[in-house]
Every structure is written in C-alpha cells, then in structure tokens.
C-alpha cells in the first residue's frame, strides 16, 4: 500500500521542467518587456527624455527603473526626506566611484552607508531644532534624550557600514607558511617537525 502511494506522488522531470518557466508579475524580464511596450505606446519623447503619466509604484515603467537602483537611486529617494534626495544620489554615485563598487554586494553596501548618513543628518536636524527653542519641557527633554541615543546608534551603524564597504574592497589575504616550527595556543607551545612522517 505504501509503495502505491509513493508512486502516485512522484513528479516527472517533464512537470518540473514546465514549472521552471513559471514567473511572477515582478520577474525582471517580464517587467522590462511590459515597460518597453508601455513606453512605446504611451510615452512622449521630448528633449531626450521619456515622459510617462503613470509612474505609480506598481507601474511597469517604475518597476523597471528600480532595476537600475544603484545608478538612479529611485528607491533611495523614496525613503529619505526631500531635502536629502539630491545629496543621497550624489553620495551613492561618489561612494561607488571612490571604492570602485562593481559587485551588487558592494553597491548595496554603499547605499546602506548613504541611508545611514542621511539618517544622521535628519536626527541632528531634529536635535538642533530643540536646542534652538531654548527651554525644554519634561516631554521635550525625554524626546531629546531618545533622539540623542538614536543619533549615537545611527553614527555607529554608519561607521560600521562604511568599514564593511572598505573591508569588501580589501584584496584577499594570501598566507603562505613554510616552516618546520608552529606556535600553537596562548601558551605558545612550540612543536618542531623533526623526524615526523607526513600522514
């Protein structure tokens, strides 16, 4: 009985092969195809730029632009206040240039650095606002203390992400040890390989 049940549950390679071709509505190839059709049908081309009426988050044209996030910063600008958007895109491009970011992990880390830096600027702006007012109420003082802790944490996060970006760009460490003596452990046990046959 168990043998019959297991034979019914076997999925043929042909069925798996068909499933491999299934895609979601957010598959990048499908999005680019739909965006291209939409641009050709509905966009007007003026002064070297496409003008599209529908640029909601769900539109294929917007979704297609997110595929070049590390060049155009379209998602970055949707997560930061307006006053920091131009700086954010410039800083992202400059960091990628400074650290020669090519791999997707390097480019994503550069964007994390930018987001952390902008978060620091925004927290500092809020803290300065309270200092400019002069006197603080008890509630203001508590909020100021929370903002101060957030600023410290954001600064540590920024420095950590910047260090990670630097680490990603370090050349791989090559170690070549040719010795008959090894120092092992905290007590520095010295073992000489004299008359020891290799295993």
Q: Are residues 51 and 101 in the same domain?
A: no
Query: What is the extent of the structural domain holding 37?
Result: 13-67
Q: Residue 188 falls within a domain, yes or no?
A: no
Would you call 113 exposed, middle or buried from its count of C-beta atoms within 10 A (0-12, 13-18, 19+)? buried
Q: Are residues 57 and 102 in the same domain?
A: no
Last-in-domain residue among 50, 67, 84 = 67
Question: By three-state DSSP, how is residue 189 classified?
Answer: strand
pTM listed for this prediction? 0.71
Q: Are residues 166 and 103 in the same domain?
A: yes
Q: Residue 55 falls within a domain, yes or no?
A: yes
Facing residues of 49 across strands? 46
What total number of domains does the chain contain?
Answer: 2
Per residue in 133-192, pLDDT (tens digit) is: 767 778 878 888 999 999 999 999 999 999 999 999 887 777 666 666 555 555 554 555
Per residue in 58-70, pLDDT (tens digit) is: 888 889 999 999 9
Q: Are residues 96 and 158 in the same domain?
A: yes
């Amino acid at each position: 009985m168990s043998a019959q049940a297991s034979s019914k549950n076997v999925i043929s390679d042909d069925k798996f092969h068909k499933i491999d071709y299934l895609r979601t509505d957010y598959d990048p190839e499908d999005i680019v195809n739909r965006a291209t059709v939409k641009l050709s049908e509905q966009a007007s081309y003026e002064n070297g730029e496409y003008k599209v009426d529908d640029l909601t988050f769900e539109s294929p044209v917007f979704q297609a632009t997110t595929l070049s996030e590390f060049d155009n910063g379209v998602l970055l600008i949707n997560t930061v206040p307006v006053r920091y958007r131009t700086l954010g895109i410039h800083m992202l491009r400059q960091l990628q240039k400074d650290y020669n970011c090519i791999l997707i992990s390097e480019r994503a880390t550069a964007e994390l650095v930018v987001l952390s830096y902008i978060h620091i600027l925004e927290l500092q702006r809020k803290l300065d606002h309270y200092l400019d007012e002069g006197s603080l109420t008890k509630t203001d003082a508590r909020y100021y203390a929370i903002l101060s802790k957030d600023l410290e944490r954001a600064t540590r996060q920024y420095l950590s992400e910047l260090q990670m970006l630097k680490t990603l760009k370090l050349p791989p460490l090559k170690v070549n040890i040719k010795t008959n003596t090894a120092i092992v452990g905290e007590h520095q046990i010295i073992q000489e390989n004299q008359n020891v046959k290799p295993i």
